[in-house]
Structure 1
Amino acid sequence: MKYLPIGISDFKDIINGNYLYVDKTKYIYEMIRQEKGMYFLSRPRRFGKSLLISTLYYLFKGERELFKNTWIHDKWNWEKYPTIRINLTDVNSRTSDILRRELINLLNEEAKELRIDEIREKEEPSIAFRELISKAYEKYSKKLVILIDEYEKPVLDNIKTTDKAKEMRLILREFYSVLKAQESKIKFLLITGLTKFTKMSVFSALNNINDVTFDSRYSQLLGYTEDELFDFFNQYISQTASKYGITTDELIQSIRDYYNGYSFDGQNKVYNPYAVILFFDKQEFNVYWHMSGSTQFIYDYLRDRNVTLEELIGKEVTEAMFTNKEVEDNEPEIFLCQTGYLTFIETYKPSLLAPRTYVLGIPNIDAQIGLGQVLLETQYKLKDTEIQDKVTEIVESLENKNFEDTKISLNSILSEITNSVYGDLEKTDRKIENYERFYQTLFKLIFGFAGFRVIEEYHTTKGRADILLQSNGTVIVIELKVDGDVKQAMNQIKERGYHEQFTGKECYLVAVNISSKERKIIELEWEKVNK
Structure 2
Amino acid sequence: FSQLSIFSELNNISNVSMDEPYAAVCGITEEEMLERMLGHIECLAGALEMTCEETRLKLKEKYDGYHFTWPSPDIYNPFSLLNALERKKIDNYWFGSGTPTYLVEMLRKFHVLPSEVGHSMQAMASDFDAPTEKMESIVPLLYQSGYLTIKGYDKEFGMYRLGFPNREVEEGFVRFLLPFYANVNKVESPFEIQKFVREVRSGDYDSFFRRLQSFFADTTYEVIREQELHYENVLFIVFKLVGFYTQVEYHTSKGRIDLVLQTHKFIYVMEFKLDGTAEEALQQINDKHYALPFASDRRKLFKIGVNFSAETRNIEKWIVEE
Q: Indicate the SS of the match to 2:223.
A: helix
- Highest Rg: 1 or 2? 1
Q: Deviations over 1:140-182 (max 9, x none)?
A: xxxxxxxxxxx95xx7xxxxxxxxxxxxx43xx2xxxxxxxxx
Equivalent pair of 2:249/2:261 in contact (CA under 8 Å): no
Residue number in structure 2 paired with 1:316: 122
Matched residue type, 1:394? F
Q: State the distance in 2 between where 1:505 and 1:255 align.
A: 33
- Whole-angstrom CA distance in 1 between matches of 2:183 and 2:224: 11
Q: Which amino acid in 2 is paired with 1:309?
A: P
Report what 1:291 is aligned to: 96
Residues 1:492 and 1:283: Cα distance change in structure 2 (over 3 Å): farther
What stretches of structure 1 of length at least 5 have no aligned partner? 1-39, 41-150, 156-168, 174-200, 426-434, 460-464
From the superposition, tell whether residues 291 and 473 of structure 1 become closer, same or farther in structure 2 (CA, over 3 Å).
farther
Where does structure 2 lack aligned partners over 5 or more consecutive residues? 252-256
Deviations 1:102-138 (CA, angstroms, capped at 9, x unpaired): xxxxxxxxxxxxxxxxxxxxxxxxxxxxxxxxxxxxx
How far off its partner does 1:311 sit?
3.0
Tell me the distance in 1 between the aligned counterparts of 2:162 and 2:265: 25
Q: Does 1:486 align with 2:281?
A: yes
Q: After the TM superposition, which residues 343-358 of structure 1 pair with which residues of structure 2 at under 5 Å, given as runs?
A: 343-349=149-155, 351=156, 354=157, 356-358=158-160
Query: Paired residue for 1:520?
Result: 315
SS in structure 1 opposite 2:165? coil
Structure 1 residues 491 and 258: CA distance shift in structure 2, 3 A? farther
Identical amino acids, percent of aligned pairs: 23
| Aligned pair partner of 2:68 in 254, 257, 264 | 264
Distance 1:234 1:447, change over 3 A: farther
Q: 1:149-298 maps to which residues of 2 (within 5 A)?
A: 152=3, 169-170=5-6, 173=7, 201=8, 205-268=9-72, 269-293=74-98, 295-298=100-103
Match of 2:198 in 1: 396
Query: Does the 8 Å contact 1:468/1:475 carry over to 2?
Result: yes
2 CA distance for matches of 1:362 and 1:223?
Answer: 16
What does 1:24-173 correspond to in 2, within 5 Å? 152=3, 169-170=5-6, 173=7
Q: Is the 8 A contact 1:493 1:509 kept in 2?
A: no
Secondary structure at the counterpart of residue 56 of structure 2: helix
Are the counterparts in 1 of residues 84 and 91 from structure 2 also a CA contact under 8 Å?
yes
Question: Which structure 2 residues correspond to residues 355-374 of structure 1 after superposition, within 5 A?
Answer: 356-374=158-176
Give the match's secondary structure for 2:94. Answer: helix
Q: 1:326 to 1:304 in 2, by over 3 A?
A: closer
Distance 1:467 1:210, change over 3 A: farther
TM-score, normalization: structure 1? 0.49
Distance 1:239 1:358, change over 3 A: same
Aligned CA RMSD, in angstroms, stands at: 3.9
Instruction: Provide the TM-score with structure 2 as the length reference.
Output: 0.76
What displacement does 1:366 show?
1.5
